[in-house]
Structure 1
Amino acid sequence: MCGIAGIVTLSGAPEAMKHAALNMMDAIRHRGPDGEGLWQDVARPVALGHRRLAIIDPEHGKQPMTTEDGRYTVVFNGAIYNYLELRRELISKGHPLHSYSDTEVLLYAYREWGESFVDRLVGMFAFAIWDRHEQKLFCARDRIGIKPFYYSFDGQRLLFASEIKAILADDSIRAQASAEGLQDYLTFQFCLDDKTLFKGIQKLEPGHSLSVQYVGDKLDVKIRQYWDLHYNIDESHDERYFIDTLAGLIDDSIRLHLRSDVPLGAHLSGGLDSSAVVCLASRMLKGEQLKTFTGAFNEGPQFDETGYAKEVSRFAGTAYNEIYIPAGHELPEVLPRLMYYMDEPLAGPGVIPQYYVSQLASEHVKVVMGGQGGDELFVGYARYMAAYLEKCLSGAIYQTANQSRFAVSLESIVPNLPLLATYQPMLQGLWKNGLFGPHDQRYFSLVDRSEGMSQLFNQDALLSDGGYSSFASFQRIFNRGELHSLVNQMTYFDLKGSLPALLHVEDRTSMAASIESRVPLLDHRIVEFMATIPPNIKFAGGRMKHLFKESIKSAVPKAISERKDKMGFPTPLTQWTKGVARDFVRDTLLSDQARRRGLYNLDVVEKMLGNEREFGRVVWGLLSLELWHRIFIDRDLKPSGI
């Protein structure tokens, strides 16, 4: 796990290039405290920089790394979990690998197989490889988007980095807010496709590559999608086959994710996903005790799951560590720091406990595993049930249930409807503006977070020149062909939209603590396998995570596999913003600086501040956005502790 940065330009003096690259690397020094390296080409104005967090072969994995013939040079962020298997194959083909570094494997795999080598990788990655002979830079990001890659290209100069702040460290870049990015943020609290909240700075999308080549007096930049999820439904096997195969894939993924040359631990929330990872990993360690890390709040039992986490720890025999998070009174100091590390205020207030738990983990280990992705892969969100309830009601009323190839009947989901007992606000929001209708409109209403937000903003300030529509971008993803069913449409959108935002949080909170975060449930082989399962088996009767539960039930305590009350790490933000952090929130959102921005309707904002419902996201969205403006756009807020 590391930070990468680089420059490819048509002209540039070597010393100026060096200075610019060092500035970029310094901006992401927290990603790699174990060393730094800079490489410059002698014939072209190309610079590659690296900050290292040494995990695999710490002694020999220094970067940038160059092949023995001097042709290829790489900077790499991530982990290739099948590096030992690839290393053996490359040595058998005559390549001179001298270390056990996955970086060296990556470099020589490109030399052997060219750009298609990414298809062989099992892992998380963002890298850039310079080919001196072809005068070409090849970059790629892993299939799911676990590791970040950002770039800016103005026709003359391409900058890339692991974090946006490194690109902003270059003197040629002026931070400006993107109107389209703001529209997405207000709608979803994340940006779709390649957009960011910064005008002129894009993210390389998951499963995509970027190449930059000198062609005469121009730079030729190409973006290519090398991977997407295909739903080739397997109707030749029964449920037992899918359960057993899934169990084998999860076991193998965790086995590979345990490869590390430094101390390794795991997040443990007490939920099914992290508990499964902890229990399976502990079983594989054969006597070595796994360290686990749990966070909770003192604001009430609804914010404390340590009882479940301790039960899992006892069952698996882990070394249990916990932290009670004091962020209520520390919010004025911690939140600006988090916004700086995040680059963009994506996702929700769960970033706060993740940050504290990562800091706790960093006191004990350099690698930590977690259960991220389980809800999206195994159908675990309550909104999936809400959408299917409406679909089944429609099918029952209009007698259309049997017209669908993978139908789920109203009768079949009735036993599982108690799951929605605590989600009445979600159901009220779904149905207050209508019932039934096209699937894209109905699911959009479940993921749209703009209600309560839109009236707080000056709409003229949000207009883009091209008449951009967040809903149209949503439709393009949700309505992709060959998804076969509503459950696949919903989970595919989440894989492309909300999951990358959650992984962004995972990356930044771990990197802020200089530790590596691994997510074994998001092994692409598991993701691809889940896409082959018939929807009426994958979400039979609305049974949330049914196949996953069956595949790991012998490995986890029964109390965990049968839990009905998983909270999803709720944060007592509303209590804080109405209590200990009230003055901080009001001073930030109602300030003259916020008024001069022209973005908010502050009279409406002031009325709203005292009316936020519990677990609401409006105050969080506003507060995060205003702090982001102050740190990155105004550049007048320097968070403490940076």
Structure 2
Amino acid sequence: MCGIFGFLATQPRALSRSLDDLDAGLARIRHRGPDGMGKWVSANGQVGLGHVRLSIIDLETGAQPMHSDDGRYSIIYNGEIYNYIELRAELGEASFRTHSDTEVVLRAFQKWGPDCVSRLRGMFAIAIWDTATQQLFVSRDRFGIKPFYWTATDDGFYFASEIKALLPFLRDRAVNSAALTDYFTFQFCLGEKTLVESVWQLPAAHFAVVLAGHNPKPRRYWEVHYDVDYDHTERWFTQRLRELLEDSVRVHLRADVEVGSYVSGGVDSSLLAALAREVRPEGPFKAFNGRFMNGEEFDESRYAKALADERRMELHVTDIGEQDFVDHIAKVIWHLDQPTAGPGSFPQYMVSKRVGEHIKVVLGGQGGDEIFGGYARYLVAYFEQCIKGAIEGTLHNGNYVVTYESIIPNLQTLRQYKPMLREFWASGVFGERDERYWRLINRANTYGEIIAPEVLEQRAAFEEFKSIFWGSNVGKESYFDSMTHFDFKTLLPALLQVEDRMSMAHGVEARVPFLDHPLVEFAATIPADIKFRNGELKRLLKAVFSDHLPVAIRERKDKMGFPVPLNLWLRRPGPTRELIGDLFGSAAARSRPYLNSPVSIDAVLDSQSTYGRNLWALLSLELWHQQFID
């Protein structure tokens, strides 16, 4: 895990200027690589590659930029290739100079060209300069676990692991208006947009070949296909899931340093930690949890302790208070690069800080909800699918039959989700699926009169939403798969952004074993009935690995998702409310163009009973605006 920065200038230029550019970009991402820094500039000053290193594999000889033996290719790369040992053998081990996965990527590109990325199993952002063709090859992993941002100016093409490294090279700093609409609608940006005008992200599962003076034209090299498999039995799915997840955890533990795990107390992170402990039963294994000092409803550490006691883990619990929020929130937003998702980035930052005091590599559970059905809205979609099938007589799909009788066990579970059901079916059951999901996840109408109407103009955002929701890789008959696909392409990248930035803020590499592409491809074929039968979220995952989890975790119904007591802190006088008042005390903050006339934050606080998420959106956007735009 590292940070990269580089450029391909429009034309040759002075070496001193190129070195200055590298220094300026790398200085802003130094936290990503505390163990070393490397720079390379072409003889004519037109190409610059920079790298800051967090040493994980081949601690002695894996430095970057790295060059091919003949000097034709130069590479910088951020990430981990988990099948580097197997690829090394395939490429001819005797010819290697190092034991690093960086050299494996370089030699794979030499042999297979751009097609090499389809052979890589892992997380990566890659840039390779070819002196013979004068082309820059760039690529990003299948899920966007590792970041890659770029901008094109009159001076050339610049790219980096974080947006902040590109800011010195922008002629003007402005907010992308379409991305801002996305932000207030979803709390993340769709597609290649970022909140900074003229800064873009290379999409996940894409590569591009860049020529001097030209913008990249990304090409997709991988896609997950939701082709439901009705030919196999549940027993087969059970066995295959066990094989794939155990193998993913095994390769994600490859490192020359100690590996630990986040343990939130939920199923996903707890299961990964348990499987990791099974692979490495000897020696210490460190697990990390965070809790807010505001009562049991904000404390999941008892579940983490149950797992740690059962699996002989060394549990580190971080106590988080209101003053921590006030002291660290500006740093959180700076590291986050652009505001996204909910306030969960704050506790993630605090726990990662604790991780960084002990180890360099940690496993995380991102992806489990999206591929195995961990959100309540998926269950509602499945239930609707069952009703539709039953009304039509039966929905018969190979080994799986949906009838009236199969619906009954779900009814008790669905009683928990009455508000969601009302929103889901406000315009009637079996209405347009895209419009109903849009209504469910669209937050634009929750801001009242705070946000300017033109910012909340929804037509363009809705059209982009639909283009993702009705992806060509998703079967039209499955509402559940369309929802999963949209979340997989939008919400998951936002969560991965949080995972990457909050861990790298403290020089920690976060690995996500659920996002191993053989496992994801398999999960997309599992029938919904196997995932949700009897109204149970992540049913198959829990059934297959029930012997790995304490009963308290396996049977818990109160999934929290690292809740932040923001509403509690805002309802009463205290440091958080003072912070909000100070932050929005200036005329500039109250008069941002996206606000609907000068805003009184006190009026906002006094007019709403549950304002945490929306006020978080305004708070984080204002802090970001001050740090990145002003």
Q: Tell me if both proteins adopt one fold, taking TM over 0.5 as the criterion.
A: yes
> Aligned partners of 1:236, 1:563: CA distance in 2, in Å?
32
Give the SS at the match of 1:169: helix
Equivalent residues in 2 for 1:322-361, closer than 5 Å: 322-326=317-321, 328-361=322-355
What letter corresponds to residue 3 of structure 2 in structure 1? G
Tell me, yes or no, if the aligned pair for 2:272 and 2:365 is still in contact at 8 Å: yes
Alignment CA distance shift 1:615-1:317 (3 Å): farther
What letter corresponds to residue 52 of structure 1 in structure 2? R
Match of 2:193 in 1: 195
Tell me, yes or no, if the aligned pair for 1:179 and 1:462 is still in contact at 8 Å: no
1:113-140: CA deviation from partner (whole Å, max 9, x where unpaired)? 1111111111100010111111111111
Question: How far is 1:520 from its partner?
Answer: 0.6
Match of 1:149 in 2: 148
Match of 1:550 in 2: 543
> Aligned partners of 1:142, 1:31: CA distance in 2, in Å?
18
Match of 2:629 in 1: 633
User: Does residue 208 of structure 2 align to residue 210 of structure 1?
Assistant: yes
Alignment CA distance shift 1:454-1:476 (3 Å): farther
Q: Equivalent of 2:222, from 227, 243, 252?
A: 227
Give the SS at the match of 1:459: coil
Give the SS at the match of 1:451: helix
Alignment CA distance shift 1:50-1:417 (3 Å): farther
Equivalent residues in 2 for 1:121-520, closer than 5 Å: 121-154=120-153, 157-170=156-169, 172-214=170-212, 218-219=213-214, 221-326=216-321, 328-390=322-384, 392=386, 399-400=391-392, 402=394, 411-431=405-425, 436-453=430-447, 455-460=449-454, 469-484=460-475, 485-520=478-513
User: Does residue 4 of structure 2 align to residue 4 of structure 1?
Assistant: yes
1:209-239: CA deviation from partner (whole Å, max 9, x where unpaired)? 121124xxx4363211111111233222111
> Aligned partners of 1:593, 1:549: CA distance in 2, in Å?
51
Alignment CA distance shift 1:384-1:605 (3 Å): farther
1:537-592: CA deviation from partner (whole Å, max 9, x where unpaired)? 33334431112112212222233222222211111011112232112213323531
1:257-316: CA deviation from partner (whole Å, max 9, x where unpaired)? 111111211000111101100111001103122100010111111111111110000111
Tell me, yes or no, if the aligned pair for 1:4 and 1:51 is still in contact at 8 Å: yes
What letter corresponds to residue 117 of structure 1 in structure 2? C
Tell me, yes or no, if the aligned pair for 1:351 and 1:505 is still in contact at 8 Å: yes
What letter corresponds to residue 218 of structure 2 in structure 1? I
Structure 1 gap segments, 5+ residues each: 635-642
Match of 1:56 in 2: 57
Q: Equivalent of 1:561, from 545, 554, 567?
A: 554
With structure 2 as the length reference, what TM-score do the two structures score?
Answer: 0.94
Alignment CA distance shift 1:35-1:8 (3 Å): same
**Which of 333-342 and 46-55 deviates more?**
333-342
Tell me, yes or no, if the aligned pair for 2:179 and 2:194 is still in contact at 8 Å: yes
> Aligned partners of 2:69, 2:127: CA distance in 1, in Å?
18
What letter corresponds to residue 257 of structure 1 in structure 2? H
Match of 2:39 in 1: 38
Tell me, yes or no, if the aligned pair for 2:2 and 2:32 is still in contact at 8 Å: yes
> Aligned partners of 1:625, 1:336: CA distance in 2, in Å?
11
Give the SS at the match of 2:444: coil
Tell me, yes or no, if the aligned pair for 1:254 and 1:520 is still in contact at 8 Å: yes
What letter corresponds to residue 520 of structure 1 in structure 2? P
Q: Number of residue pairs matched?
A: 622
User: Does residue 604 of structure 2 align to residue 608 of structure 1?
Assistant: yes
Alignment CA distance shift 1:534-1:426 (3 Å): closer
Match of 1:97 in 2: 96
Give the SS at the match of 2:341: coil
Alignment CA distance shift 1:21-1:418 (3 Å): farther
Question: How far is 1:345 from its partner?
Answer: 0.6
Tell me, yes or no, if the aligned pair for 1:156 and 1:219 is still in contact at 8 Å: no
Structure 2 gap segments, 5+ residues each: none
Give the SS at the match of 2:158: strand
> Aligned partners of 2:154, 2:528: CA distance in 1, in Å?
46
Give the SS at the match of 1:629: helix
What letter corresponds to residue 181 of structure 2 in structure 1? Q
Give the SS at the match of 1:505: helix
> Aligned partners of 1:108, 1:417: CA distance in 2, in Å?
56
> Aligned partners of 2:232, 2:611: CA distance in 1, in Å?
42
> Aligned partners of 1:403, 1:590: CA distance in 2, in Å?
59
> Aligned partners of 1:61, 1:145: CA distance in 2, in Å?
23
Match of 1:531 in 2: 524
> Aligned partners of 1:503, 1:174: CA distance in 2, in Å?
28
What letter corresponds to residue 539 of structure 1 in structure 2? F
1:566-625: CA deviation from partner (whole Å, max 9, x where unpaired)? 211111011112232112213323531223323213457543323444484111111111
What letter corresponds to residue 354 of structure 1 in structure 2? Q
What letter corresponds to residue 583 of structure 2 in structure 1? T
Give the SS at the match of 1:219: coil
Tell me, yes or no, if the aligned pair for 2:18 and 2:45 is still in contact at 8 Å: no
Tell me, yes or no, if the aligned pair for 2:370 and 2:488 is still in contact at 8 Å: yes
> Aligned partners of 2:611, 2:600: CA distance in 1, in Å?
20
> Aligned partners of 1:487, 1:604: CA distance in 2, in Å?
41
> Aligned partners of 2:296, 2:414: CA distance in 1, in Å?
20
Give the SS at the match of 2:218: strand
Match of 2:613 in 1: 617
Give the SS at the match of 1:360: helix
Tell me, yes or no, if the aligned pair for 2:389 and 2:402 is still in contact at 8 Å: no
Question: How far is 1:372 from its partner?
Answer: 1.2
Give the SS at the match of 1:627: helix
> Aligned partners of 1:482, 1:76: CA distance in 2, in Å?
30
> Aligned partners of 1:633, 1:503: CA distance in 2, in Å?
24
With structure 1 as the length reference, what TM-score do the two structures score?
Answer: 0.92
> Aligned partners of 2:431, 2:480: CA distance in 1, in Å?
16
Tell me, yes or no, if the aligned pair for 1:293 and 1:322 is still in contact at 8 Å: yes
User: Does residue 104 of structure 2 align to residue 113 of structure 1?
Assistant: no
Give the SS at the match of 2:70: coil
Match of 1:639 in 2: none
> Aligned partners of 2:247, 2:274: CA distance in 1, in Å?
14
Tell me, yes or no, if the aligned pair for 1:145 and 1:500 is still in contact at 8 Å: yes
Identity of paired residues, percent?
A: 45
Give the SS at the match of 1:36: strand
Question: How far is 1:413 from its partner?
Answer: 4.2
Alignment CA distance shift 1:428-1:240 (3 Å): same
Tell me, yes or no, if the aligned pair for 1:39 and 1:48 is still in contact at 8 Å: yes
What letter corresponds to residue 66 of structure 2 in structure 1? M
Question: How far is 1:509 from its partner?
Answer: 0.3
> Aligned partners of 1:416, 1:267: CA distance in 2, in Å?
32
What letter corresponds to residue 25 of structure 1 in structure 2? L
